[in-house]
Amino acid sequence: MTESSLVTTRSQATYNELCSVIPGGVNSPFRGYQEVGGSPVLFNKGQGASLSDLDGNTYLDYVGGWGPMILGHGHPRVAGAVKEMLDEGFLLGSSHPLELECARLVQKAFPSMAMVRFVNSGTEAVQSAVRLARACTKKDKVLRFEGSYHGHVDGLVDAFGVRKIEGTGVPESIARNTLSGPFNDVEALRNMFEHHAKELACVLVEPVAGSMGVVAADPEFLKALRELTSANRVVLIFDEVLTGFRVAFGGAQERYGIQADLTCLGKILGGGLPAGAYGGKAELMQRIAPGGPVYQAGTFSGNPLTMRASIETLNILAEENVYDELDRTAGMLEEGLVAAAKSAKIPVQVPRVGSMFSVMFTHRPPRNIRDAEFADSKRFAAFFHGMLNRGVFFPPSLHDAAFVSTAHTRDDIEKTVEAAEEVFKSL
């Protein structure tokens, strides 16, 4: 796959117009190219493992809509189900039988979720789970980990453990109830509990972090989390927005054999439509309104259109046993990228869990954000643009996860590795 003279004039013109009416020209900062430079390419069609932009260029896609598109773009069963639902109504203002069917599928994947509440995003799921934990424990503080991303919830936006409250719109009175600790550090975790257990409502953790590169929690770290939270009446919340239905059908809880008290889902759950969910032990979930005092609501929560897409997506994932093949495909890509970098004598790590991975220009795999911050950002930017010019779209972000879908073929992987070989040699 050779480098092309990429023409993106229509993308650039449209982006410039967007900037006049939408802050930064994007409705989510991840879509901007702040970390890599240049003007974002704008896509107008996705099919299978490919994207097409406004200028007619095509790309192999490893962003996958930032995680949801595990089946690739335009899967015929999911698209067909959504089209059928459009004729029946997509916002009816009441509960719907599809919500029951979808909840049962979620429970099948996550046995720890005795009860489920659907929302519209991962951010809503996390926000609601934290509120519920505070109500159930009558405590206020939240422990989360440096480098993890849990949405744009006030008090949790401190993505890299560095407090920059001034000018962010997050009051210090809210921020002070959030504690940040180093990821994968059992000694530091025990120290946090020794000093703060009596005021901790919950611990919020990504079992596999996806915003410091892909970093799996050490088994000892997860075990310590489970033991310490259980012993101190602290709610353990797994943020499986990225890992749910991705690293296994039952997410990280299935993969690592440790169950949470509350679980947050999103991304893949919606089959490409906006969706989120949180759930867990019945004694906790029964405190949510209208049965309990913890208020949470949403006009579009559990809407039939999203539920139909969710059901079809989850049925495909459960029926077709896609995870072994996803692992093989992603493993082939990992091996190819590592070999290409080694041949070019470029220090590159490709940490991977299942079908989520990252490309890190470092000498060793990161175990936390402090390791990840040593990654060479200039080389990554050059890598990103080199791959883009060869028709391969990676996340335009130094620390964010990339994804393989069931639509990626062996030929796609070979083309990607061929492009990477050329790019690495040019760095």
Task: List residues with catalytic annotation.
Answer: 149, 239, 267
Strands annotated E in 266-323: 276-280
SS3 category, 173: helix
Query: In the numeric block, which tokens belong to residue 62?
Result: 């490893």
Cα–Cα distances in Å, from 295 out to 121, 260, 272, 288? 17, 22, 27, 6
Cα–Cα distances in Å, from 370 out to 207, 257, 323? 17, 27, 31
Distance CA 86, CA 74 (A): 16
Q: What is the Cβ-side half-sphere exposure of residue 411, based on CA atoms within 13 angstroms?
A: 3
Distance CA 70, CA 56 (A): 24
Is the preceding peptide bond at 290 cis, omega within 30 degrees of 0? Answer: yes
Ramachandran assignment for 302, one of left (phi > 0), alpha (psi -120 to 50 degrees), beta (any other):
left
Query: In the numeric block, which tokens belong to residue 268?
Result: 């893949």
Distance CA 235, CA 259 (A): 12
Closest CA to 247 of 310, 320, 172, 327: 327
Ramachandran assignment for 167, one of left (phi > 0), alpha (psi -120 to 50 degrees), beta (any other):
left
Query: In the numeric block, which tokens belong to residue 142?
Result: 């939240």
